[in-house]
């Protein structure tokens, strides 16, 4: 059975009918007419770009955002009773 792409309550290819299967999930669309519309292509491009942005953001600064933990770990490695700087509450001495 052919699955159509639904946009704003209508099918992208322009078909009409009560018994037509439709979805907003891009990977499940089988209708060639729907896949060839600008609405489907734009949605596919937006989905692809969002995935790329998320992947880029995830690998951008993994250590840079966790500077506090890295600093506490560095101070823990120092010998003796080294005091943590202000702002590291709950841990007076390492």
Q: Domain range holding 43?
A: 3-60
Q: What is the pTM of this model?
A: 0.60
**Whole-number mean pLDDT of the chain?**
82
In angstroms, rounded to a whole number, what is the distance separating the alpha carbons of residues 60 and 64? 9
Q: Give the pLDDT confidence of 54-94 residue by residue, as tens digits.
A: 998 887 766 556 777 777 788 777 776 656 665 666 655 55
| In-domain check, residue 68 | no
Three-class DSSP category at 61: coil
What is the Cα–Cα distance from 59 to 19, expressed in whole angstroms? 45
Does residue 66 lie within any of the structural domains? no
- Asked if residue 26 is part of any domain, the answer here is yes
On whether residue 15 sits in a domain, the answer given is yes
Is 72 a domain residue?
A: no
Q: Which pLDDT band holds residue 26 (cuts at 50, 70, 90)? A: very high
Mean pLDDT of 41-66: 85
Domain assignment of residue 42, yes or no: yes
Number of domains in the chain: 1
Task: Tell me whether residue 7 is in a domain.
Answer: yes
């Amino acid at each position: 059975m052919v699955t159509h792409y639904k946009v704003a309550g209508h099918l992208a290819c322009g078909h009409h009918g009560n018994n037509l299967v439709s979805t907003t999930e891009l990977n499940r669309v089988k209708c060639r007419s729907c896949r060839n519309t600008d609405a489907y292509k734009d949605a596919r491009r937006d989905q692809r770009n969002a995935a790329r942005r998320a992947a880029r953001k995830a690998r951008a600064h993994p250590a840079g955002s966790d500077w506090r933990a890295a600093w506490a770990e560095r101070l823990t490695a120092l010998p003796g009773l080294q005091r943590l700087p202000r702002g590291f509450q709950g841990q007076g001495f390492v």
